[in-house]
Chain A
């Protein structure tokens, strides 16, 4: 029971963290049809900037300032790099953002070195938040969950409660029509890009202290964010939320599951056979936990290519 509840909480919080990264990716795709390869780089930049700023001015200042800087960087990328290639077709956009992601990773390696940095949670959140079934739950983990929920609430209010939110939601459906109605779609896009980068930067600032902060984190996050948006349906925000939580839970439960396919075969009395075949069949689930999201994505693509909540094919 304790394992179940703690794993579920961990998975939920990890999923919400993923959502903070994937939300911007899926919104940008929905609006402009661009898959931004460099989006997870905003997560990485957020984590490293928060690490630097927290070393100078304390954790909380870093948490506030780093995502704002990332938002400015994101808007700069949109305004000065991406806007040049909108007319050149999807592969050019994909290649440019890929190049930018490459540059980001190398920049981080150049300035911070090719190894993880010690970005740690603040001492005020070292304790436990509450206890479930006798196990204390770490306060910082809980805090990450709270930040993610606040982020989601902010995004929801922005999209559903403001005028620009209506334009953004309309532009996700019919960008050309919204533009024809006289709304400034390119400004809305700039803002969406900024907000998406801000959320990814915030995810980096809080998640960097929870996970490791290393130059390879952007590539890992890119894969996970892609999995989230494909599973959820490209362009669908609700789908991204659903898929994030599913992948978070999948990851946290599989990390704790010390079973293999051979154990499954044992149910049918075939353990010896499965272990004899070896290879993939005798792999423990927790050793391939990192690969399960990708398997899920391939499964979804084969059975429901538009994603769980996606409409567009």
Chain B
């Protein structure tokens, strides 16, 4: 059953170029790269319980290794099969991860997060002074060279290379989980002390896990460069580390494919939303913060829970979700409307227009013009949020009344 689902999913992905436009295929390519990056990150953050805030460094290590190799191939100095380029990215990730892991894993918990963040920021800060390696302000760019019968000139060919690498890497990561090393990784999270009592060298183990996570991150970085044909040192910045964290935990770190599904979901939603609003990252951050506050397991794990319960005939989770839906829609509507109105009014162009004409033109949000002077414009988002919060209160309160306290043994007749 599970195998069938996986085969079906890969088949759908493989058939994607048949029914997707070139633009959507590009988004899906980015989504697959983000998915692989999130899975690699989750090996460390979710499975080993080591929360890295600097995975941009290993992602970029792979990216820069690949761009340098591509430049060398382009100039004819060396020859290398083009579709195997990400392999070099993985190697660079592995090496940088082993070195960084040695330092970072000396401390656990919050220290680990701060050290990984600091190391990535160190590289980012030094990057402008190393233009020969990291390309300086302009960045580095190159071209994919033809290999055998393929010229890698079309989006479809790039997509298939990315899909192949993402599928194989995901498979390897899954197999890794089943091995002894994979179980030990989970052991690191659950009880490091017990592992060391059992005779394992936990520091070495952490370095190995760190390096493997960095290796697959490097493959993802290499794939990005393979598809973009360029890279800039801004990839090293906190933004890259932040996006993989958001992707991973929006999807959920406790389910194997949670981070990957989260990454594809966020990439697609982001590309759609960023066409409509410039505030997309704000909403992404809000969604992430809300998930962290209310369902720490993430969306995929939550959905899987509800689905499993519903299949077994326990519908309380489903009913609860349905009951909370109107509240969520109300609050979401109010917040988005309020933010869009305010940001629309504070926009430079809008302010300039106001100064030129002296009048306040209406702002279009949700396909409707809103006049800044009208009371309804400001009452609508406020009322929506308050109403939504009241609905949520009502839904949770009623649940308390309706569910009698469960007494042990009361199920038996």
Contact = CB atoms under 8 A, between A and B. Distances in A.
Contacts of B45: 91
A302 interface: yes
B190 to A, nearest CB: 12
Interface stretch (B158-166, B217-225, B283-291, B304-312): B283-291
A291 B126 contact: yes
A118 interface: no
Contacts of B286: 103
B354 interface: no
A146 interface: no
A102 B285 contact: yes
Contacts of B229: none
Interface stretch (B64-72, B103-111, B201-209): B103-111
B282 A106 contact: yes
B348 interface: yes
A94 B129 contact: no
Contacts of B113: 35, 94
Interface in B51-69: 51, 53
B315 interface: no
Nearest to A287: B129
A64 interface: no
A223 B118 contact: yes
Contact of B107 (A102, A294, A305): A305
B352 to A, nearest CB: 13
Given A288-B126, A301-B106, A98 B118 contact: no
Contacts of A288: 125-126, 129
| Chain B interface, >50% SS class | helix
A99 B284 CA distance: 9
A9 to B, nearest CB: 25
Interface in B102-156: 103, 106-107, 109-111, 113-115, 117-119, 121-122, 125-126, 129-130, 132-133
Given A111-B342, A291-B122, A230 B106 contact: no
Nearest to A114: B278
B242 interface: yes
Nearest to B114: A226
A33 B87 CA distance: 41
Contacts of A91: 45, 49, 51
A84 B292 CA distance: 9
A159 interface: no
B293 A302 contact: no
B126 to A, nearest CB: 6
A113 interface: yes
Contacts of B117: 223, 226
A110 interface: yes
A290 interface: yes
B122 A81 contact: no
Contact of B125 (A96, A110, A290, A301): A290
B181 interface: no
Nearest to A112: B346
B106 A279 contact: no
Interface in B240-256: 242, 245-246, 249
Nearest to A278: B132
B122 A92 contact: no
B289 A81 contact: yes
B216 to A, nearest CB: 20
B394 interface: no
Contacts of B122: 291, 294-295, 298
A21 B344 CA distance: 32
B292 A106 contact: no
B348 A113 contact: yes
A107 B292 CA distance: 19
A223 B53 CA distance: 11
B321 interface: no
Given A35-B114, A85-B293, 4 more contacts: A91-B45, A94-B110, A99-B292, A288-B126
The list of the 7 closest CB pairs from A to B, nearest first, reads A106-B282, A99-B289, A102-B285, A103-B285, A35-B110, A291-B125, A96-B292
24 contacts: A29-B110, A85-B296, A95-B245, A95-B292, A98-B242, A102-B246, A103-B285, A107-B282, A110-B282, A110-B339, A111-B346, A112-B346, A223-B118, A234-B111, A279-B132, A280-B126, A291-B122, A294-B119, A294-B125, A295-B122, A298-B115, A301-B106, A301-B115, A302-B106
